[in-house]
Amino acid sequence: MSSTVAPSGLAHPAPHAGQEPAADVVQVYDTTLRDGAQQEGMNLSVADKLAIAALLDELGVGYIEGGWPGAIPKDTEFFARAAKELDLRHARLAAFGSTCKPGADPAEDAQVCALVDSEAPVVTLVAKSDIRHVERALRTTAEENLRMIGDTVRHLVGLGREVIVDVEHFFDGYRFDPDYALRCVRAAFDAGAATVVLCDTNGGMLPDWVAAVVGEVRAATTGRLGMHAHNDSGCAVANTLAAVGAGVRHVQGTVNGYGERTGNADLVTCVANLELKLDREVLGDAGLQEASRISHAISEITNISPYGRQPYVGASAFAHKAGLHASAIRVDPDLYQHIDPVAVGNDMRMLVSEMAGRASVELKGRELGFDLTGQGELLGRVTQRVKDAEAAGYTYDAADASFELLLRAEIDGRGPRFFEVESWRTFVEHRPGGANPTDAEASVKLRTGRGRVIATGEGNGPVNALDDALRRALVGTYPEIEEFALTDYKVRILDSQQGTDAIIRVLIETSDTVRSWSTVGVGPNIIEASWEALTDAMVWGLLHNGVEPR
């Protein structure tokens, strides 16, 4: 059955209490800026939160939970600036807070007043629904907690706010005392809440348990139900989908699964499954096709590296390595892919390794812009060279740039030549007791089209010094390398049983203002391996910046 989406892209209006929600409308509510920001090591500035909110709106979510105004000064500032600086096309901002305190009038409760002052059109209230938490954490009575829920919701609805109630610890509370947990849900709906969200706050539920509980709650209530899942059992996404299958029509989560402990339900994965597997259009405006770009852009803002194996949007989500897969993919990519990567803005990637066959090399060549169809002899040479190299310690599935240089060398017999290395050397001097007890220095001699160049570099280690010397030697001929930055450096010891005689592999990631690329080097020591990866990085970067050898 096809689903519908609001023409404006905004979240569909929620039904009033007692009104049955539309059968297939699923609201998408993002809580990256509040619940996701509780992840260990994450610290978002107000500017970061504004930038992420704009990206979430591009994705097409219906709600963006901005934070807890009044409780956190940074969140109070966020809502003040958002009103002036954000021009949201799809989403509505939601302010998060709690119900009034025991014995308090919501109109006079300072925290409730801060929610109103935020001017957010949506207010999400957290409320206790586990009687044990009511009595032990809130230290109040069951009836007073119900009064707090009802009075706070009525107060905010009376001020024109759409109110969403997150019933905290709902599943644990329901399993302990289902009658009281249901009374909390009904109290919220009876007071005018648009949506009541069932929270697996401890994250310990399993899909079958969620489906059973939601089914019972759905049968006992008539308002819109939501799902908020944490991932402590590894089932947050599965639990969210199970809840939708049992009648939930509002899902909460965070981009990239950010959140405290093991995180929240990954909203991108939830949405992709809902749209692509269950045929529910929940974003509209082709927002899902921007998912990979937006996921990675948010990773940059949070300064948390993207997870390569993340479903749908990870760099490895559609990466194929084995030769058998490659042979089938050459005939029909869908044979080994559960969806077309374009649907989530991702790409299929071929990984070339010792498991590669000719089909893998042909497909990888096509990905890099080389048509190798019908060139059996060339494909055989490249395949054998890859296998021989990997037997010697190289790896190309994480070094596309080095593989491309290998392929070009086989195609034209030599590959691109921007410079010829005459020699290089490096040494480390240790001076105990000094301000800088260890210094590294390197010298490089090479030739370009402009003649012989000798350069000396310094660094905090021999590899850093070599990098500095190489750049100094080349920058006069190729000023473009000033834009190149070494962004990642990995070392692995191969055949560690050989001790200090072991083979070393180095992987280097380099970037400029447009792209990033990875190169590999292997040698009997870390310096030689690093030098090979560094020179490959310079060559590939110059080549793809359209530079002609000088």
* pLDDT value of position 156: 98
Comparison of pLDDT for 292 and 178, the residue scoring more: 178
* pLDDT value of position 322: 56
Query: What domains lie within the chain, and their CATH numbers?
Result: 29-302 (3.20.20.70), 319-389 (no CATH), 420-545 (3.30.160.270)
Residue 138, φ and ψ in degrees, nearest 5: -75, -25
User: For residue 339, what is the DSSP state?
Assistant: S
Sequence-distant (≥ 6) Cβ neighbours of residue 514 within 8 angstroms: none
Max mean pLDDT range (10-24, 183-197, 363-377, 400-414):
183-197
Q: Kind of pairing, strands 162-168 and 195-200?
A: parallel
Instruction: Name the residue with tokens 């206790």.
Output: 128
Give the separation between CA 18 and CA 519, rounded to whole angstroms: 62
Name the CA radius of gyration of the chain, rounded: 29
437 Ramachandran zone, left/alpha/beta (phi>0; psi -120 to 50): alpha
* pLDDT value of position 496: 53
Q: What is the pLDDT of residues 453-493, one digit of tens each?
A: 999 999 888 999 999 999 999 999 999 999 999 988 888 88
Asked if pLDDT for residue 174 goes beyond 60, the answer is yes
* pLDDT value of position 11: 34
Question: What average pLDDT does range 84-112 have in this prediction?
Answer: 96
* pLDDT value of position 10: 30
* pLDDT value of position 243: 98
Q: What is the pLDDT of residues 505-541, one digit of tens each?
A: 899 999 998 888 989 999 989 999 999 999 999 999 9
Sign of CA dihedral 480, 482, 487, 490: positive
Max mean pLDDT range (231-235, 343-347, 448-452, 462-466):
231-235
Buried b or exposed e, range 318-328, using 16+ CB within 10 angstroms: bbbbebebbbb
State both tokens at 167: 């019933």
Asked if pLDDT for residue 17 goes beyond 50, the answer is no
Asked if pLDDT for residue 13 goes beyond 50, the answer is no
Share of the chain above pLDDT 90, in %: 63
Asked if pLDDT for residue 2 goes beyond 60, the answer is no
122-126, 330-334, 446-450, 526-530: lowest mean pLDDT where?
330-334
Cβ contact 135:106 at 8 Å: no
Asked if pLDDT for residue 53 goes beyond 70, the answer is yes
Asked if pLDDT for residue 18 goes beyond 50, the answer is no
Cβ contact 240:203 at 8 Å: no
Question: What average pLDDT does range 315-329 have in this prediction?
Answer: 63
Query: How many DSSP H helices and E strands does the chain contain?
Result: 17, 16
SS3 1: coil
Asked if pLDDT for residue 501 goes beyond 80, the answer is no
Tell me, yes or no, if the pTM score tops 0.85.
no
Q: What is the pLDDT of residues 328-381, one digit of tens each?
A: 555 566 777 889 888 998 877 666 654 456 676 777 788 788 888 888 888 888
Find, among 282, 296, 299, 410, the residue nearest to 352 by Cα. 410
Comparison of pLDDT for 358 and 214, the residue scoring more: 214
